[in-house]
Amino acid sequence: MERANWSRRTRQREMILREIKKLRTHPSAADIYEIVRKKLPRISLGTVYRNLEDLSRAGIIRKIRDGGTRARYDGTAAGHYHLHCQRCGRLVDLEKDPSPPVRVGPGKMDGWEITGYRLEFTGICPSCLKKKV
């Protein structure tokens, strides 16, 4: 029984990780849940959320705050830049990093131990720009 539980949990975690790595949209726990439950119908939103938290604590994925309270997750753990649309909330990776690149850590800065960084550009995305307001 213990063994069966363990392998089920591993399968769930692998599925969640695989799906988040496929997405470039920085999904919320609810978004991931909608996708994963098509393959694992018995999974709960709580399980998905717990796995995402564990994976981000382990540094395998990243947790990003969406301004408000809703957390979104990033399947790319390495430092990269984001573009955030102020109208529709779309959050995407910047394909081409601007230069000069930010060079930070790991290491100490101002007495802090730096574990990573996040840079986000805000603006209006191409599809919102096309729409007349």
Which range touches Zn ion (CB under 5 A), out of 3-11, 15-23, 104-112, 122-130?
122-130
For residues 66-98, b (16+ Cβ closer than 10 Å) or e, as one string? eeeeebbbbbeeebebbbbbeeeebbeeeeeee
Interacting residue with Zn ion among 66, 87, 118, 120 (CB under 5 A) = 87
Q: What is the DSSP letter of 101?
A: P
CA-to-CA distance for 63 and 51, rounded, in angstroms?
A: 12
Q: How far is the CB of 58 from Zn ion (least distance, A)?
A: 17
Please state, in angstroms and rounded to a whole number, the distance separating the CA atoms of residues 97 and 82: 10
Tell me which stretch binds Zn ion (CB under 5 A): 10-18, 48-56, 77-85, 105-113.
77-85
Q: Could you say whether residue 77 binds Zn ion (CB under 5 A)?
A: no
**Taking CB under 5 A as the criterion, which residues in 31-60 touch Zn ion?**
none
Residues within the interface to Zn ion (CB under 5 A): 74, 85, 87-88, 90, 93, 125, 128
